[in-house]
Every structure is written in structure tokens, then in C-alpha cells.
Amino acid sequence: MPNMIISEAVQDAMQSGRPIVALESTIFSNLGLPSPTNEEALTLTLGAVRSKGAEPAVTAVIDGHVRVGLDGEDYQRILGEAHKTAERDIPAAVSGRWPVGATTVSASLAIAAMAGIEVFATGGIGGVHRGSAETGDVSADLGAISRHPVVTVCAGAKAFLDIAGTLERLEMLSVPVVGYRTDEFPMFYARSSGLPVPLRLDSAEDVAHLAMERFAWNTGGVLLGVPIPEDDALSADEIQSGMSDALATAAREGITGAAVTPFVLAEISESLDGQNIPANLALSENNARVAAEVAVAIASMS
């Protein structure tokens, strides 16, 4: 097993079989959300996990150490300047002693799986980018969701991605994609992408059952799409306008590789003039709550 520092609170939960929810750190860093919204998102997310009786385990690489579960000062470190750390970057972050490696979905899933944590919550996953036929740009999140035995709870994928292509790729990767109380794959700020999910489940217990069956095969994870709460959702039109500009700017400025997603996210926030912030907070909190309910259900079954 690689070296990892597991916080005391998370170790306690592991030893007593209490439910744990892993969380990524990229969304809470300057790569994901602007300050002070990022700190607010973190507080709401941690509170949501705890309110359901589960222990939050934020993943990160701090001073070259892989961390599972943070406290006090560590939280301040991930809220600031950070180096985006996907799964493939973990060895470089450790051997190169990166001060703050903010883990993406792929890195967080790798760390959660290694630590034996079965449920993970995020905001939106990465996916197949528009124009990927030319650029080849497909997020490492998809491969990680498929390989690691963890339930990923998300509000769908960002509207700037190729959602249909993302769902096709998830099928190719043999990922069970589940709509939580919905028949359609959610689209982050919007409740639906208009595209059907292959399976709908209506309770955390049902999701836990499915996850146990999936894990029994030892071949990978489950993706659970949870629509943003109705009151906080933006309309498809609102999202569309901000997005086209952002993609055009990224293309014009020749942004490639790991820089694409943070760049587009920042551009969209700017063009929506902060209208997306309440939505971002609401979906992060809601996903954390559902993830905790699933973790509680899994813990009660195992």
C-alpha cells in the first residue's frame, strides 16, 4: 500500500465501521471555485456529510503526503493556490513534494479505493469534451470511475462537455450509470440533460444494494447522478449563453490538457456573473447528503 496519512477521525470511523464519504479537493481550491465561495462550499459539504451520521474524508496531497481526511490548518491550505492533481499525477505530487496537490475526481477515487472508502461525492464529473474526435480530450475521471470500486455521487457533467458522448463512453467502460429519483442524466446546474439513464433508483438503500452487487465482482465503480435541487437550478438557456463564449475563448487562446477545465469553469463563472454560485453550493451540499445516505446504507448492510 502507498504511504497515506489518514486523519484520526477517519481512522476512528474505519475501526468502528462507521460510514465515510470521500471528497475531492479541486472544487474547493482556486481551480474550482472563487474565494470565499469555496470555503462556504467546503463548510456546507462537510456539514451535510456529518448531518447524516457519516465522516467526511477530504483527499489531497499536502507537502508530498497523500492525505485522507483533513483538519484545521490543512483545510486552509487546500482553499488557496493549488496544483491540479489527477490520478496520474499522484506519483509526481508525492515524489516532487508538491505543497498543495488538489485532487480531482480521478485522484480522489484512486485514494478512496486504496483506503477502502466506498462512497465519494463531488459536484460534476469530467467527461468527453466537445470536439474530442479531433482533440482526444476525455477526462481521466471516466476511466477512474470505471476502475475503482467506489460509488461516485455527482450532479451530472458540465454542460460544456459532450454529455451524449460521455454517457456512451461510460457504457463502453461498463459503468453502471444510475439516476437518483430521475429518469434522465442530470446536467450540473440544470436538473436534466434530456438524455435517459439506463437505470433509475429511488432510495439510498437501493443504491447501496446495487453497489454491493457491483463491488462483489471487484471490477469497478458506480456512477450516481443526482439532480440539483429544484429551487437552485438554472435554466438551460442561462447556462448555454455563458458556455458558448467560454468554449470559444478557450479555443482562441489555445488552452489544452489539464488547463482546459479550470479555464472554462472560470470563464463560465465570469460570464454568468456569479449567478451560478448558489447553484454550485446547493448541488455540492445535496450530493454530499445523498452520498452520506448511501454510505450509511452500505455500512448497515456490511
CA atoms within 13 A on the CB side of 33: 26
Q: Give the residue carrying C-alpha cell 450509470.
A: 177
Instruction: Please state, in angstroms and as integers, the Cα–Cα distance from residue 245 to each residue in 8, 211, 266, 271, following that order.
Output: 45, 39, 12, 8
Q: Are 161 and 130 in contact (CB under 8 A)?
A: yes
In the complex with Mn ion, the residue whose CB is nearer, 86 or 197, is: 86
243 binds ligand PSU (CB under 6 A): no
Question: H helices within the chain, ranges in order?
Answer: 8-16, 37-51, 72-78, 90-95, 105-115, 132-135, 140-147, 163-172, 204-216, 236-252, 260-272, 277-301
In the complex with Mn ion, the residue whose CB is nearer, 86 or 223, is: 86
Stretch that binds ligand PSU, among 133-141, 194-202, 218-226, 232-240 (CB under 6 A): 133-141
Stretch that binds Mn ion, among 21-29, 58-66, 133-141, 167-175 (CB under 5 A): 133-141
Task: Give the whole-angstrom CA distance, residue 103 versus residue 26.
Answer: 5
Instruction: Give the shortest CB-227-to-Mn ion separation in angstroms.
Output: 25
Q: Are 33 and 41 in contact (CB under 8 A)?
A: yes
137 binds Mn ion (CB under 5 A): yes
105 binds ligand PSU (CB under 6 A): yes
Task: Please report, as residue ranges, which positions from 153 to 212 form the binding site for ligand PSU (by CB under 6 A).
Answer: 158
Q: Are 158 and 123 in contact (CB under 8 A)?
A: no
In the complex with ligand PSU, the residue whose CB is nearer, 118 or 162, is: 162
In the complex with ligand PSU, the residue whose CB is nearer, 163 or 258, is: 258
258 binds ligand PSU (CB under 6 A): yes
Selected binder of ligand PSU within 139, 269, 284, 286 (CB under 6 A)? 139
Task: Give the whole-angstrom CA distance, residue 77 versus residue 270.
Answer: 24
Residue 265 binding target from Mn ion, ligand PSU, none, CB below 5 to 8 Å by type: ligand PSU
**Of the candidates 167, 161, 164, the residue with the CA atom closest to the CA atom of residue 246:** 161
Q: Which three cell numbers stand for residue 29?
A: 481550491
Residue 24 binding target from ligand PSU, Mn ion, none, CB below 5 to 8 Å by type: ligand PSU
Which residues are part of the catalytic machinery?
A: 24, 158
Give residues in contact with ligand PSU (CB under 6 A): 24, 26-27, 32, 104-105, 123-124, 126, 139-141, 158, 258, 261, 265
Give residues in contact with Mn ion (CB under 5 A): 137
